[in-house]
Structure 1
Amino acid sequence: MEKGIVIKSTGSWYTVRLPDQQIVLCGIRGKFRIKGIRATNPVAVGDHVGFEWSEDRTTGIITSIDERTNYIIRKSSKLSKEYQLVACNVDVAWLMVSMVLPRTLTPFIDRFLVSAEAYRIPVIILFNKTDLYDEHAMNEMNYLWAIYTSAGYHCMQMSLQTKKGIEEVRSKMKGKINVITGNSGVGKSTLINVLDPTIRLKIGEISDYHQAGKHTTTFSEMFELSSGINIIDTPGIRGFGMI
């Protein structure tokens, strides 16, 4: 049996990276469950799995999942009783927020922090698009900054346009499994492109009507950047269901 880490999940197929960097497309056999949670996807990005090769050794079948150190989940929909695994075995979760275009609401931040705390995942709150903040937006950021730092969370500010804060972010991500989450349009894929321009992820627009981001990342995927960073890009979400 071969071992590897899941770096991409598209529903029924999972991309697995082996220790020698070989990439294998795998399906699953049997049912995998998280105790007490009904998950729509049994395997997630970040999972360490065992698999068996197909007869022609072109694909694989996942037969086992190593015990997870932690995981991030969200509700599949507001009315659903099932959950979706977003990422597993995470060292740091980066919650990207913005005071403008789109504005991140505090209930969204709080729900994510509660979820991450429940599964023992350290969180860094990253305020993006600071180059666009007027005085009101800057005051709002400073107010939230004071609240969350007093609660023990590390906060950082960044501008992907001016490159402010990029090197500090890069330094804190190095050598870790990082997951980036936040509202659609907040800049998750752009950050990955800035950290490693060879990735070239598609970047979404902002809806003029709702001032909300349009989804461009439709599934979670882990990227191994040239600077020694493993980073999981997640689908943009406009709300985060309480666990």
Structure 2
Amino acid sequence: MKGRVIKSTGSWYMVQTEAGLVKSRLRGKFKQDDLKLTNPIAVGDWVALELEENQETGVIHDIVLRENYIIRKSTRKQHFSHILASNLDQAFLIITIRDPRTSLGFIDRFLVSTESFRIPAFIIVNKMDAIKKEKDFEYLETIREIYEPLGYPVIEISALSQSDVTEKLSPYLSGKTTLLAGHSGVGKSTLLNQLVPSANQATRPVSGFTAKGVHTTTFAEMFPIGDSGYLIDTPGIKEFGILDIENQELSHYFVELRGYLGQCKYNNCQHVNEPGCKVLEVLEKGYIHPYRYESYLKILYEEDGYR
């Protein structure tokens, strides 16, 4: 029997099959391409399973090769990684300008991960109703200035308004499996409840003491939406540590740098201070946003310690 994992609790998995939902567990240990995973099975995985004698629960004995996935370093287990979700058509990164503020560095790290599997990404700016100060609007304009020319749509919404959410996001969701990701407190669960009222996800206000989000979603879960589409809600992400990308490959996942690959004097150019570097040449001419180049260097040199 074949099915798709729609929820993972770490020990049990809910698998959608043609016969209906089957609560399933793993058979033995899974080794996956030398990846040390906090959980070997991710929401979105297609799996092969067999019903147990009771005909009510199942045992997963194989995972179908993933088309893609979004992965990050585990914040709890050193040298382990965590797959947010797999077999995606696109990803919505939910960000907020304030309470909590999403940093450009966090956005870039997420986009590097999506680019590594060519997963189309959207930047969804939530809580537009809460933006009042001029500096917040300036930050929003900076985000537009940086990411829209690179092909990342920046969509402004208020998840508290169902009509706003439906009008602006629903056209992108039909027939697609979409990941919802972002910091805790950016409104992923509120957004999901507007798009899929039956989801009934719990929501909590941002902490007034820290101005940071409070975790409400504990496990990743996939919800059907519209015509054969799915939304995958994920727990809030505090940090996004990048995995399995060599220094020589990192520039491949920055859209504006990728366009100049093969044009440098040296094949192994890392675009730092090498002579004849095409990237440095166009950077000086203003064709690459200086912040994005600085972000590339920070990830390259692990300056923030999360890579």
- In structure 2, the gaps of 5 or more residues are 244-307
Match 1:64 to one of 58, 62, 76: 62
2:4 partner letter: I
> For residues 61-140 of structure 1, what are the structure 2 equivalents within 5 Å?
61-77=59-75, 80-134=78-132, 135-140=134-139
Higher Rg of the two aligned structures: 2
Partner of 1:45: 43
- d(CA) in 2 for partners of 1:110, 1:121: 14
Which structure is higher in RCO with an 8 Å CA cutoff and minimum separation 6? 1
TM-score when normalising by structure 1: 0.94
Partner of 2:11: 12
TM-score when normalising by structure 2: 0.75
SS at 1:67's partner residue?
coil
Partner of 1:24: 22
C-alpha deviation, 1:228, in angstroms = 4.7
User: Quick check: 2:175–2:227 contact (8 Å CA) kept in 1?
Assistant: no
- d(CA) in 1 for partners of 2:75, 2:159: 31
Partner of 2:280: none
State the Cα deviation string for residues 181-210 of structure 1 (Å, max 9, x = none): 000010111011111222211002211111
C-alpha deviation, 1:61, in angstroms = 0.4
Partner of 2:220: 220
User: Quick check: 1:78–1:241 contact (8 Å CA) kept in 2?
Assistant: no
2:14 partner letter: T
- In structure 1, the gaps of 5 or more residues are none
Partner of 1:144: 143
User: Quick check: 1:7–1:221 contact (8 Å CA) kept in 2?
Assistant: yes
Q: Which one has the bigger strand percentage?
A: 1
2:188 partner letter: K
- d(CA) in 1 for partners of 2:86, 2:77: 24
SS at 1:96's partner residue?
strand
Q: State the percentage of identical aligned residues.
A: 42
CA 195–228 in structure 1, closer or farther in 2 if over 3 Å, else same: farther
What's the Cα RMSD here?
A: 1.5
Q: Which one has the bigger helix percentage?
A: 2
C-alpha deviation, 1:165, in angstroms = 4.6
CA 69–157 in structure 1, closer or farther in 2 if over 3 Å, else same: same
C-alpha deviation, 1:104, in angstroms = 0.6
- d(CA) in 2 for partners of 1:191, 1:183: 14
SS at 1:198's partner residue?
helix
- d(CA) in 1 for partners of 2:202, 2:165: 22
- d(CA) in 1 for partners of 2:34, 2:123: 29
- d(CA) in 2 for partners of 1:44, 1:161: 29
